[in-house]
Structure 1
Amino acid sequence: MPVKTHQGLWGLPVQQWRRLTQVGFFLLFVFAPIFDLFRLDLNLKHFIIFGMDWTLGLNDFVAGKDTAGQAAKAIFLHAILPLILVGAAVIYVAWKWGRIYCGWLCPHFSIVETINQTLRRAIGKQSLWDKETLPMRNPDGSEIKPDTIWWFGVIPLVIICAITWATVLLTYLLPPAEVYGNLRHGTLTRNQSVFLIAGSIAFFVEFMFARHLFCRYACALGLFQSLAWMANDKAMVIGFKRERAKDCSTCYSACDHVCPMRLNPRNVKRLMFACVQCGQCTDACTQTQSDNPQGNLLEWVNQAHAESEAALNGSTARIIQIKLEKNNSIPINNAKNNGNRDIQNP
């Protein structure tokens, strides 16, 4: 019997669509400077966008042909206005759909998830800092048995990712042909060598030890997306059907275990600040509740449903939880006694 998953456009599972968008954006991240789609050339001292030089338009002012007012107008049109438009677009998308860029496009997060899964095969955890190992069972019924031999996959993977990131970032600052040509012939300049060595070491440490911490607390783009999302009570959010919380007693907290950001998806919105809208928790719930005629307990909601979710805090959600359990004659600690975490842990 095929495992149930959320279906997206043209019947393709949502998670497959997400993988495709991640791969596509990662390739764009790597090749954008090569094809002059976007980069800052430190030699030319200006941006190149879609093959065109993007300057502040101050050449005539420097030559004494334009007035200060005309120079100010040029700066507004070439720098301030584009920044406002891009910033507004990013904030609007985040305000409406949350950190969807992080979960569906971000090249850094796609590496985070890849390392997570490889590390899990080595030690049974998605992070070195997780206190407990994950269950070997996956929501779809398959199993992953940790094997230390996978460390021979983890370490090379992290090294390759670190070097790749440092190299690609350098191509955003210097002509890619120069960077890759110097690498190929072993003729890197001193500054280029220092940048690549320091960058590779920094990315290795970050990818190996602090990739989740970076996404949660150090990424400015992620932080601003989360703030915009929290400001909109009707924004898309993972909703939990608390009136059916008793059904969680048949599960092993699969939604918690699959979350790449190490969050508890059944928590209230304000405790899901770093949620990247990847939807893996909803798929896990759909799979583990495949025999339940009422279906899954986690799903994306918006508008009125999202507003009611955002109105809850941890204590209120727990009170509702207790009342629902009492009304249904369910022991309050039923889910906990079945190996689950607290349904709503403030």
Structure 2
Amino acid sequence: MSKVGNPHAQDAFEASALRHQLGASRRIIPIVPAGSAAPDGGRQRARLWAQIGFFVLFVLAPVFDLLRYDLVAGHAWFLGMEWRVGLAEYSAGQIGLGQLWLNIGLKIFLPILGAGALLIGVAWKWGRLYCGWLCPHFSVVETINQLMRRATAKPSIWEKRTLPTREPDGRTWRADPRWWFVTVPLAIGFAFVWAVVLLTYLLPPFEVYGNLIAGTPTRNQFIFIAAGTVVLSAEFLFARHLFCRFACAVGLFQSLAWMGNRDAMVVGFERKRGADCNSCYSACDHVCPMRLKPRNIKRMMFTCTQCAQCVSACETTQQDNPNGPLLSWVSGEAARQNEAGLRAGGKTRD
């Protein structure tokens, strides 16, 4: 019987053809939608990998004797080599006082001053890059900020107002108190790891880890780890970004160097296009882990860690704007002009 002569067969044939066409159209839909690349060019992903890598280095440096001071042996280790200044040799009369002071200068003060000069030199030109891209403490700060935001819609318990429950890319979420069951144990876990790792910078790492695995730490080891875990847990839960802003000497000296250079890299704001911010929800303010206002003048950004989360947020919210984002890293004359423009125009809106 022909399909044309049988209405039911004709309907079945057409339905089959329609299903085939729909199936074909489904198959050509890409798994990864076009334009799904990060609007910031992968900057935050690169920063995440840098933080992970440096945190791993922070944990493993004592294990491989890359950098630590051994209280038991009475000398330091650096890049796998014993680092002695000659105190034992001086006591035994094998070297004189002049040689001892020379060793102290070359093996203690010179490396410290060299590392400090490198840190300050980087900060002078680019700001607190170490803090935002490498510091193992700041990576914990950001992690707990995100978890606490999921639990309370605030990045810390001291935040006065809740943040918008949306991401710069438009995704929405809702706060759920059950996230506290993740936040608190993870903060304590980070504190425990930090306490143990800090101890391995002072005692032989294999002794410390061996005693922990066997459940037989010495009395002093137990006191150090327990006290460190309690103190760091309190700091991670209640004062983590306050420590970064007001108590960290490494961050303070970087900020002072950065503030002293008017040509240093800053987050620049195109104030003339400020009206474009009306289409945004101040995403740059809400993502800042240091709770700063990125569109403000430099002196109000004293503790900026150059994490560029504000820049990435602006690039995401303005990705359909033909004029591009309003925030970007600028330096040199552009940094001077940016600062002059902001000072002339007064404060930016919150």
Distance 1:312 1:197 in 2: 52
Q: Pick the aligned partner of 1:155 from 180, 184, 191.
A: 184
Q: Which residue of 2 aligns with 1:216?
A: 245
Q: Deviations over 1:297-337 (max 9, x none)?
A: 000001111123345675x331xxxxxxxxxxxxxxxxxxx
User: Helix, strand or coil: the match of 1:227?
Assistant: helix
Q: Does 1:2 align with 2:36?
A: yes
Q: Which residue of 1 aligns with 2:345?
A: 317
- Equivalent residue runs for 1:172-187 within 5 Å: 172-187=201-216
Give, in angstroms, the shift of residue 155 of structure 1. Answer: 1.1
Q: Does 1:243 align with 2:243?
A: no
Give, in angstroms, the shift of residue 53 of structure 1. Answer: 1.1
Q: Does 1:189 align with 2:233?
A: no
Q: Which residue of 1 aligns with 2:348?
A: 343
Contact 1:255 1:282 in 2 (8 A): yes
Which deviates the most, 51-60 or 16-25?
Answer: 51-60
Distance 1:47 1:313 in 2: 49
Percent identity, please.
56
Q: Which residue of 1 aligns with 2:295?
A: 266
Q: Which residue of 2 aligns with 1:68?
A: 97
Q: Does 1:203 align with 2:232?
A: yes
| Counterparts in 2 of 1:273 and 1:182: CA distance versus 1, 3 Å | same
Contact 1:58 1:74 in 2 (8 A): no
TM-score, normalised to structure 2's length? 0.87
TM-score, normalised to structure 1's length? 0.88
Contact 1:270 1:313 in 2 (8 A): no
Q: Does 1:35 align with 2:69?
A: no
| Counterparts in 2 of 1:47 and 1:290: CA distance versus 1, 3 Å | same
Contact 1:4 1:286 in 2 (8 A): no
Contact 2:271 2:342 in 1 (8 A): no
Counterpart of 2:112 in structure 1: which amino acid? Answer: L
| Counterparts in 2 of 1:196 and 1:30: CA distance versus 1, 3 Å | same
Contact 2:39 2:319 in 1 (8 A): no
Distance 2:211 2:314 in 1: 50
Give, in angstroms, the shift of residue 147 of structure 1. Answer: 0.7
Give, in angstroms, the shift of residue 281 of structure 1. Answer: 0.5
Q: Which residue of 2 aligns with 1:82?
A: 111
Q: Does 1:45 align with 2:74?
A: yes
User: Helix, strand or coil: the match of 2:159?
Assistant: coil
Counterpart of 1:235 in structure 2: which amino acid? Answer: A
Give, in angstroms, the shift of residue 189 of structure 1. Answer: 1.1
Distance 2:207 2:313 in 1: 46
Q: Which residue of 1 aligns with 2:320?
A: 291
Unaligned segments of structure 2, at least 5 residues: 1-34
Q: Deviations over 1:184-230 (max 9, x none)?
A: 11211111111111100000100000001000011111111111111
Distance 1:308 1:57 in 2: 54
Contact 1:118 1:153 in 2 (8 A): yes
| Counterparts in 2 of 1:104 and 1:171: CA distance versus 1, 3 Å | same
Counterpart of 1:42 in structure 2: which amino acid? Answer: L
RMSD between superposed Cα atoms in Å: 1.5
Unaligned segments of structure 1, at least 5 residues: 8-12, 319-341
Distance 1:55 1:259 in 2: 44
Distance 1:231 1:95 in 2: 7
Give, in angstroms, the shift of residue 66 of structure 1. Answer: 2.9
Counterpart of 1:195 in structure 2: which amino acid? Answer: F
Q: Does 1:280 align with 2:309?
A: yes
User: Helix, strand or coil: the match of 1:252?
Assistant: coil
